[in-house]
Amino acid sequence: MRKARLDMTLLGLGAVAALTLFATAASAADVAHGKQIFASCAACHSERPDAIGPDLKGIVGRKSAAVDGYRYSGAMRRAHLVWDEANLKQYIANPQAKVPGNRMPFSGLHDPHDVDDVVGYLETLK
């Protein structure tokens, strides 16, 4: 009887572990897809000195309005954000809601999976 209970417990723990791994893999960002989506952002956000938007290399963990030489809007300078995962997701989903008055001409990504994927891609830019 004890062995049967132990076997059932181990089976249950194995199932929980398998489900956890599956859920983690399913919810993980698709960096390749994020890179594809970001391609349209790269028209403005590049390393070129004449780029319309600031370079996003190293964006994760950086303070808002912190790229030297880029002329940020007053709204972005006053935002005092740190671009962590949560702030990036909110901003990418709806830039005007996150930082009202910013001048980026982008209405946001409306699919949460696309947002996750772009943030996943941005995390790779070092």
**If pLDDT is split at 50, 70 and 90, which confidence band does 1 have?**
low
Query: Between these two residues, 109 and 20, which has the higher pLDDT value?
Result: 109
Q: Is residue 86 included in any domain, yes or no?
A: yes
Q: Is residue 5 included in any domain, yes or no?
A: no
Q: Which of 48, 27, 8, 11 is nearest to 119 (CA)?
A: 27
Residue 60's domain comprises 29-122
Q: Which two tokens stand for residue 45?
A: 């956000």
Q: Is residue 2 included in any domain, yes or no?
A: no
Q: Is residue 16 included in any domain, yes or no?
A: no
Q: Is residue 37 included in any domain, yes or no?
A: yes
pLDDT at site 28: 78
User: In total, how many domains does the chain have?
Assistant: 1
Instruction: Read off the pLDDT of residues 18-38 as tens digits, 9 standing for 90 and up.
Output: 444 443 333 579 999 999 999
Write out the DSSP string of the chain: -HHHHHHHHHHHHHHHHHHHHHHHHHHS--HHHHHHHHHHHTTTBSS-TT-SB---TT-TTPBTT-STT----HHHHHH--B--HHHHHHHHH-HHHHSTT----------HHHHHHHHHHHTT--
| Inter-CA distances, 102 with 1, 21, 95, 98, 109, Å | 67, 39, 8, 9, 16
Whole-number Å distance between alpha carbons of 65 and 74: 9
Q: In the predicted model, what is the mean pLDDT of residues 92-113?
A: 97
Least confident of 25-29, 50-54, 81-85, 95-99: 25-29
CATH number at residue 116: 1.10.760.10
pLDDT at site 61: 98
Q: Is residue 88 included in any domain, yes or no?
A: yes
pLDDT at site 104: 94
pLDDT at site 9: 43
Instruction: Read off the pLDDT of residues 83-96 as tens digits, 9 standing for 90 and up.
Output: 999 999 999 999 99
Q: Is residue 73 included in any domain, yes or no?
A: yes
* Mean pLDDT estimate for the chain: 85
pLDDT at site 22: 40
